[in-house]
Amino acid sequence: MPESTTAERQLIEQFLETLRALPEVQVNLVNKKTMDAALDKQYDAKFDLHIAGKSFTLLIETKKTVYPRDVRQVSWQLKEHNHNKPNGQGGNEPVSLLVAESISPGAKDLLRSMHVGYYDSGGSLYLAAHGTYIYIDRPPPKSLAKSIGSLYSGRRAQVLHALLVHHSDWFSVKELAALAQVSSATVSQVLSELERFDWLISRGKGPSKERHVSEPASLLDAWVKQSMLVRPQALQRYYVPGLNAEQLLERIGQVFTTRQIGYAISHEAAAQRYAPFLSSISQVRCRLLVGPASAAAIGELGARAVDEGANLVIIEAKSPGDLLFREYVGNTWLASPIHVYLDLLRGEGRTKEMAEHLRQEMIGF
């Protein structure tokens, strides 16, 4: 192999071990002395690959991380290899393949659509050549999973939320920071990540540079996938006697507003007010800034803690950022349609159908 870092060599060795573990596969390093000096600069390793009686010359390009934004450049480089190199030993078909420490799910989708092979340190492998097809899909490496997961939590999630709620608008870093109630540094970090996923477009330069989310549906879909991996929040369950769900909503609005308590109704109760779908609901779920004042308000409602049969469920809001972009509808504060949609998808019964109805009627992408 050409000179490479220790990490690259280890990654290529891991890739070879994965190939050799497959049935009817043999792979061998091509003697570097037989490689064309000019071509040697274009790729990082060259192997003879034999699969079930078919032979290929495998040309490896190594990268540390690959996101959708990187795919076009990488695929162009690999296609240039295919056009400019001679066949391998014995006239074997040349096949280019990308080996990276981490490749985002979106980047993998793009690479497969372009029929470009890849391998990452999580063990995922895709290779398509004449008469040969290998596809192994495994969870992303922990380093990538952690990086992606952090984008959809805490203050970073507030930036995503702002972009999705105002998906038609253009923002400077300063404007977006004010809207999302976070620091400019946090906004800059999030925007850099989103640009790597190819979900943003920009205009202008320097302090006047503005961004606009060009793929809101892709961003929301990615948030949905990530939310399914997160452990469900702890819930406080109560029963408020003598009130049906609609009456309970009105009572919550009265009591919490009078006591100036931050809250937002979510799940079915909120979706039903935004875009009616069910004939009736039996439970109200509420994001609430928990504290002495909220405890007193719950007491004023006459609520008692229960294990079963709850008609009021409290979801503790970790910060005022969890209530961002709530809307005042029918004398009650509702969580934003984005938050309600994400909450519904984690529910049971017909909540997923309700979520899709809400997305079509209120979110629109």
Which pLDDT tens digit goes with each residue over 121-153?
889 999 988 888 999 998 877 766 666 778 898
The answer to whether the CB of 149 falls within 8 A of the CB of 229 is yes
CA 43/CA 291 separation, integer angstroms: 60
Contacts 24+ apart (CB under 8 A), 146-155: 147/193, 148/104, 148/226, 149/226, 149/229, 149/230, 151/190, 151/193, 151/226, 152/222, 152/223, 152/226, 152/227, 153/230, 155/180, 155/182, 155/183, 155/186, 155/321
**What is the three-class DSSP state of 198?**
coil
CA 31 to CA 27: how far, in whole Å? 13
The pLDDT score that the predictor gives to residue 172 is 95
Q: Higher confidence at residue 330 or residue 91? A: 330
Q: Tell me what the pLDDT averaged over the chain comes to.
A: 87
- Res. 31: pLDDT tops 70: no
Q: Rounded to whole angstroms, how far apart are CA atoms 363 and 216?
A: 10
CA gyration radius for the chain? 26
Which stretch, 25-29, 79-83, 144-148, 244-248, has highest mean pLDDT? 244-248
The sign of the dihedral angle between the CA atoms of 70, 210, 170, 161 is positive
Mean pLDDT, range 83-98, rounded to an integer: 66
Q: Kindly report, residue by residue over 306-326, the tens digit of the pLDDT.
A: 999 999 999 999 899 999 999
pLDDT bucket at 302, cuts 50 / 70 / 90: very high
Quickly tell me which residue has 């998906």 as its tokens.
167
Which is nearest to 118 in space by CA: 131, 135, 140, 141? Answer: 135
Higher pLDDT, 48 or 147: 48
Please give the pLDDT value at position 164.
97
E strands within 104-195? Answer: 117-120, 125-129, 132-136
Q: What is the predicted pLDDT for the residue at 46?
A: 86
pLDDT at 81: 57
Q: What pLDDT is stored for residue 183 in this prediction?
A: 95
pLDDT digits (tens, 9 = 90+) for 49-71: 998 888 888 888 888 888 888 88
Which domains are assigned to the chain? 6-139 (3.40.1350), 152-227 (1.10.10.10), 235-363 (3.30.460.40)
Q: With pLDDT > 70 as the criterion, what percentage of the chain qualifies?
A: 90
4 confidence band (pLDDT: 50, 70, 90) = low
Q: How confident is the model at residue 209 (pLDDT cuts 50, 70, 90)?
A: very high
Rounded Cα–Cα distance for residues 208 and 189 (Å): 17
Does residue 267 register a pLDDT over 90? Answer: yes
Q: Is the dihedral of CA 197, 199, 203, 204 positive or negative?
A: negative
pLDDT at residue 33, as a whole number: 38
Q: How many helices (H) and strands (E) does the chain have?
A: 14, 16
pLDDT digits (tens, 9 = 90+) for 162-207: 999 999 999 999 999 999 999 999 999 999 889 888 899 999 988 8
Q: pLDDT value at position 39?
A: 46
pLDDT on residue 77: 66
327-329/117-120 β-pairing: unpaired
Q: Does residue 271 register a pLDDT over 80?
A: yes
75 against 185, higher pLDDT:
185
